């Protein structure tokens, strides 16, 4: 197969070192700044010997954002390749929660076709902060598995909803691309999605859990520690990847100071940080939130009280 040169970086897409850690993100113009923050965290936590190649599935990233992302190479040596995605291929994929997620979440389903010479890759969501070298994760043995994943924070609910024994979060995927190609996954999956559309409330995450049920290797939660609240970050100090799954992505920015100062989005992140700081201050003065079906928590002037919901 002839080598393919990427127009954005001049990188040979089909060449890779035997020791390269392959990492994939997918983004459109809306998530480019968060992608830069996550990518910067990878670079600043890598081991000196880690040879990193980032493949960014490009669903409409603006040229000026690409230049900003490429400028992150000054933080540590790496390769960054933008890979165009045929977005029309995903037109029939269901989007039950389009206010929170975009069609870019489905791009990971075709990575094995887009990168035909890459054998294994780590896929990361853009709202993840990496705290440790990814080498141990990348070197995890998955020769007999299509994927390795971490259990979802709400797995009990989703196992019941889909009648599964296990349910995993798709924010971080260790992908055996050879396995996916040999099983013709990307060629079969769109017909499968059309048949099962009504079940796919969480889009590609539901797709992977249902399609590969019983075949996914379970990883320690430190490789995708999902945090719905900022306070949760401190509960697993050994976390290697922190995943900010809350709807408000300012949590990622707020907890990544001064990391965001090393990105080319300092101004944008500073404004988001200030907004999240005001929200955090307000919550310490007065806040009501549900703890479970029976209890709620009232915060008043920094003091917390547990109350009955009824």
pLDDT in single tens digits along all 310 residues of the chain:
333 334 333 334 443 444 799 999 999 898 999 999 999 999 999 999 999 999 999 989 999 999 999 999 999 999 999 999 988 888 878 887 655 667 888 899 999 999 999 999 999 999 999 999 999 999 999 999 999 999 999 999 999 999 999 999 999 999 999 999 999 999 999 999 999 988 999 999 999 999 999 999 999 999 999 999 888 888 899 999 999 998 889 899 999 999 999 999 999 999 999 988 877 766 666 767 787 777 877 777 667 778 787 6
Please tell me the predicted confidence (pLDDT) of residue 100: 61
pTM: 0.84
In a domain, 109, yes or no: yes
In a domain, 292, yes or no: no
User: What CATH number did the domain enclosing 225 receive?
Assistant: 3.90.550.10
Kind and range of the H or E run holding 24: strand 20-27
> Is residue 123 situated within a structural domain?
yes
Boundaries of domain holding 177: 20-264
Q: Which contacts of 111-114 are long-range, i.e. CB under 8 A and separated by 24 or more positions?
A: 111/24, 111/55, 111/57, 111/175, 111/177, 111/180, 112/175, 112/177, 112/180, 112/181, 112/185, 112/186, 113/181, 113/186, 114/55, 114/57, 114/83, 114/85
- Residue 280 in any domain: the answer is no
At 8 the pLDDT is 39
- The distance from CA 41 to its chain's CA centroid, rounded to whole angstroms, is 13
295, part of any domain: no
Structural domain contains residue 300: no
Q: Are 97 and 129 in contact (CB under 8 A)?
A: no
Provide the number of structural domains found in the chain.
1
* Integer Cα distance of 249 and 49 in angstroms: 32
What integer pLDDT is reported at residue 1 of this predicted model?
A: 34
Distance of alpha carbon 41 from alpha carbon 163, whole angstroms = 37
Q: Tokens 């100071």, residue?
A: 257
Q: For residue 71, tell me if it sits in a domain.
A: yes
Q: How far apart are CA 82 and CA 130, in angstroms?
A: 21
Q: Is residue 27 part of a domain?
A: yes
């Amino acid at each position: 197969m002839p080598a393919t040169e990427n127009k954005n970086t001049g990188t040979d897409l089909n060449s890779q070192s035997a020791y390269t850690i392959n990492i994939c993100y997918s983004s459109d113009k809306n998530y480019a700044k968060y992608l830069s923050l996550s990518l910067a965290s990878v670079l600043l936590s890598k081991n000196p010997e880690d040879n990193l190649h980032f493949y960014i599935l490009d669903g409409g990233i603006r040229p000026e954002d690409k230049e900003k992302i490429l400028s992150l190479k000054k933080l540590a040596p790496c390769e960054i390749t933008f890979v165009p995605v045929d977005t029309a291929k995903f037109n029939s994929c269901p989007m039950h929660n389009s206010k929170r997620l975009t069609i870019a979440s489905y791009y990971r389903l075709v990575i094995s076709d887009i990168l035909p010479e890459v054998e294994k890759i780590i896929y990361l969501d853009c709202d993840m902060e990496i705290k440790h070298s990814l080498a141990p994760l990348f070197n995890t043995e998955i020769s007999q598995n299509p994927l390795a994943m971490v259990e979802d924070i709400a797995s009990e609910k989703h196992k019941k909803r889909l009648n599964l024994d296990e349910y995993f979060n798709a924010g971080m995927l260790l992908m055996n691309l050879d396995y996916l190609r040999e099983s013709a996954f990307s060629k079969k999956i769109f017909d499968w999605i059309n048949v099962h559309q009504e079940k796919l409330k969480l889009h590609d995450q539901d797709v992977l859990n249902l399609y590969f049920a019983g075949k996914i290797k379970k990883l320690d939660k430190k490789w995708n520690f999902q945090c719905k609240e900022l306070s949760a970050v401190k509960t697993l100090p050994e976390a290697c990847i922190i995943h900010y799954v809350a709807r408000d992505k300012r949590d990622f920015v707020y907890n990544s100071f001064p990391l965001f100062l090393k990105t080319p989005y300092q101004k944008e992140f500073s404004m988001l940080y200030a907004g999240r700081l005001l929200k955090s201050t307000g919550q310490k003065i007065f806040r009501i939130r549900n703890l479970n079906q029976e209890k709620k928590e009232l915060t008043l002037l920094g003091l917390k009280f547990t109350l009955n919901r009824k």
